[in-house]
Amino acid sequence: MAQQVVSWFVCNGRFRVHAVNAVGRRRGRIIEAEDIETGERIHDSPRRMLTLVNTLSAMSGAFGHSAEWIPEPLSRSGHTRPSAKS
């Protein structure tokens, strides 16, 4: 199954974030962050990458993610799936 790769800038254009959108039952995840000046690419677990991107976004005063990135799979009605009840 094909997945769409999207990218966007955070921290006033200093870093580019690459992510894979959610498709079918697969969740979207952030693959890497790239430092534009040095070309260095940062790889880690999806959870740590999400934390890193959220921190970088908050440092620059921006909140949220790119409009193109879909972290959760959509149901047929177009709404995200409800989380498991505890």
Range list of β-strands (E), 11-73: 15-20, 29-35, 41-42
Which band of pLDDT confidence, cut at 50, 70 and 90, is reported for residue 65? Answer: low
pLDDT at 67 over 70: no
pLDDT at 64 over 90: no
Q: Give the model's pLDDT for residue 52.
A: 86
Q: Which residues pair with 15 in a beta bridge?
A: 10, 35
In three-state secondary structure terms, 7 is strand
Share of the chain above pLDDT 90, in %: 14
pLDDT at 46 over 80: yes
Q: Which amino acid is it at 80?
A: T
